[in-house]
Amino acid sequence: MVTLPAPEAAQGSIGTVPIILGWGGPRGDESSLSSPYHDGSNPSSLVFPGEQASNLEVQALRLQSMGFNAVRFSFAPGCTNPDGGFMYPYSPENLERAIRIAEYFDFWIIVDYHGYEDLVTTSLADCWIDFWRPVVQQFKDRYSKLVWEPLNEPTNLPGGDNVSYLSQQYQRWIDQARSLGDQHWIVVQNLCSFSCGFDFDNGGFADGYPAVTDPQMMIFISLHSYMDYGVYAGSWDNVTAEYVAQNFYQAVENGMQRTGWPVLNTEGGTDPLCRACAPDTILDDSAGYTGVTFHFIQTLTSLYDQHAPQRINWIWWPMASWTDTPDSRPYGALQCGSSPEAWGCVLD
């Protein structure tokens, strides 16, 4: 992989917009030594003297060595899956440890509530708002490079593709955070990051961005981006990969123009969204890739990096210990030196 130049910042219409580039996937216990994926082989910690490094710390070391400046730290949705699923339940102690790791490396840390259906009903939406109140209250003054991601991929909203409802719920979240005195950046997610009925052609996914206001003028919009084999199996080639990448890019361009907000796309990658399905599979399972999906993400990455006047922020997925791709722990898609090589290690 080509080492990235030093992250810079540009002056936009809403003020200074930071460049944030990195990877996500670490779940809520990877900052802790109690994670079941922590096998005792890590070096001594640089952040916590007298301890062994956690998986999140060695992941941050790898990101730093590759020129990145951000990590997305995820925990389970407390209102719809409090036991965690494949993510770990929220722990303020583990979040504090993750922030200390980010602080040591001078990284941005995106704090991701990794839920989907938390806005399905107004009662769940109220739970979601209430869940976040003490979290924001505790950490609102903690670290300037913290970014809140209130919801991973909203789906199954009342009334279908109800962007008005999505906007209303995000506005409630923003208003609550600002009333508590929080001054961090906040990510609002496009409805099409999971599923929507809007026309994908010609950048039509821009219709899925919520419309919000913020007195701090510190909002990022986000659109998660994958190439689904189930949709494109009949034209599974690099030409189609470039078409899909261009349409995601155009949606992001349109979204910036419509909303006036800068972009931090908090997830995307090479998963064809099925297991061992594509004929060109190179590595299987969650950190794997195919020839076509790699061409897709390379095209999209290049479009984002070459965007003028400022590159478009991205966080790719997954760099994590939980991935089921063979021989991928603890770095997931950044497990470099394997054969075949992990895709994050050859992405230009």
pLDDT at 14: 59
Confidence of residue 167 (pLDDT cuts 50, 70, 90): very high
Q: How many residues does the chain have?
A: 348
pLDDT at 8: 46
> 125 and 118 in contact (C-beta within 8 Å)?
yes
For the chain, the farthest-separated pair of C-alpha atoms sits apart, in whole angstroms, at 56
pLDDT at 348: 95
pLDDT at 222: 99
Q: Report, as an integer, the average pLDDT of 124-152.
A: 98
How far is the C-alpha of 30 from the C-alpha of 303, rounded, in Å? 32
> 262 and 214 in contact (C-beta within 8 Å)?
no
pLDDT at 85: 82
Write out pLDDT tens, residues 206-261. Answer: 999 999 999 999 999 999 999 999 999 999 999 999 999 999 999 999 999 999 99
Does residue 12 carry a pLDDT above 60? no
Does residue 73 carry a pLDDT above 90? yes
> 68 and 38 in contact (C-beta within 8 Å)?
no
CATH architecture designation of domain 9-346? Alpha-Beta Barrel (3.20)
Does residue 26 carry a pLDDT above 60? yes
pLDDT at 83: 87
Does residue 54 carry a pLDDT above 70? yes
Percent with pLDDT over 90 in the chain: 91
Confidence of residue 115 (pLDDT cuts 50, 70, 90): very high
Q: Report, as an integer, the average pLDDT of 291-314.
A: 98
Residue 131 gets the label, from left (phi > 0), alpha (psi -120 to 50) or beta, of alpha
Does residue 6 carry a pLDDT above 60? no
> 3 and 11 in contact (C-beta within 8 Å)?
no
Kindly report which listed range (81-85, 113-117, 156-160) carries the lowest average pLDDT score: 81-85
Q: Report, as an integer, the average pLDDT of 303-330.
A: 96
> 75 and 90 in contact (C-beta within 8 Å)?
yes
pLDDT at 88: 96
> CA torsion sign, 111 to 336 to 293 to 297?
positive
Give strand pairing partners of 147: 110, 185
Q: Provide the mean pLDDT of the chain.
A: 95
* Prediction pTM value: 0.95
pLDDT at 56: 98
pLDDT at 9: 45
| Other C-beta atoms lying within 10 Å of the C-beta of residue 250 | 18
Contacts 24+ apart (CB under 8 A), 272-279: 272/226, 272/227, 272/228, 272/229, 273/226, 273/228, 273/229, 273/230, 274/229, 274/230, 277/229, 277/230, 277/233, 278/229, 278/233, 278/236, 279/236
CA distances to 82, 114, 128, 131, 153 from 30, rounded to whole Å, are 17, 15, 23, 21, 22
pLDDT at 294: 98
Confidence of residue 2 (pLDDT cuts 50, 70, 90): very low
* Owner of token pair 């030409």: 239
Domain ranges of the chain: 9-346
How far is the C-alpha of 116 from the C-alpha of 113, rounded, in Å? 9
Kindly give, in sequence order, each residue whose CB lies less than 8 Å from that of residue 7, ignoring residues fewer than 6 positions away: 18, 19, 20, 21, 69
pLDDT at 148: 99
Q: Report, as an integer, the average pLDDT of 274-293.
A: 95
Picking from 269, 325, 336, 313, the residue whose alpha carbon sits closest to that of residue 61 is: 336
> 288 and 270 in contact (C-beta within 8 Å)?
yes
Kindly give, in sequence order, each residue whose CB lies less than 8 Å from that of residue 341, ignoring residues fewer than 6 positions away: none
